[in-house]
Amino acid sequence: MRLNAYLARAGIASRRGADDLIKAGRVLVNGEPGQLNTFVESRDRVTVDGTPVSLQRLTYLLLHKPAGVVTTARDPQGRPTVVDLVPKEPRVVPVGRLDADTTGVLLMTNDGPLAHRLAHPRYEIEKVYEAEVGGRPAEDVLRALREGVELEDGITAPAKVRRVGDHRIELTIHEGRNRQVKRMFEAVGHPVRSLHRSLYAGLTVQGLAPGKWRPLTRAEIQRLHS
């Protein structure tokens, strides 16, 4: 395991923060300064500022993200974060991001390799959003969303689209561009008024109140790894 991933899994810092610790010479592996390309094995002894560190148990939590909470570990503006809503130990971080005003399914874990795979576009992880939009989108608008919408960073991949009300549209995508759903609806002239992610990688928040969390079941974890 790469040293920065080891420190993240030990709950010391994010991978980026771990890189800073390593570059500052504060991390020793078997008594020698660690490097960014250092790999750690089970028999190795790792210390930070002289204090031994060890891996935390792998933890997988499902959070029903409420509105007004930012999807990050820390916020310079002092806003509440999703990390404030889950237990402090073991330390977990969100997989991907939801805007502060977006609600719904958010996976949080300290399993770095799994989080990386889920976030990588090649695996095409399915995400389902329910959007309340301005106006009533016509059928040609829904067809455009299905076929792909031209954005400033390129045309979007084909999406599944289903009308669930006059102003409510269910959109299923597998890309993970920044603010993608909102930008897609803006591009077709129907800005989003509210947005809820109802499904992510097969996980839903059914039965879970906003702001509440639960551990994933063994079956859910196995399904994510498969």
Of 58, 45, 24, the C-alpha closest to 221 is: 58
Give the Cβ contact number of residue 150 at 10 Å: 11
The length of the chain, given as a count of residues: 226
Give the Cβ contact number of residue 23 at 10 Å: 13
Q: Report how far residue 165's alpha carbon sits from residue 42's, in angstroms, rounded to the nearest whole number.
A: 54
Give the active site residue among 44, 75, 84, 99. Answer: 99
Residue 84 among the catalytic residues: no
Q: At what angle do helices 218-225 and 112-119 cross, to 10 degrees?
A: 60
Helix residue spans in the chain (DSSP H): 3-9, 15-23, 112-119, 139-147, 180-187, 218-225
Q: Report how far residue 146's alpha carbon sits from residue 62's, in angstroms, rounded to the nearest whole number.
A: 29
Paired tokens of 22: 């390593």
Tokens 């994933």, located at residue:
216
Query: Three-class SS of residue 147?
Result: helix
Residues designated catalytic: 99
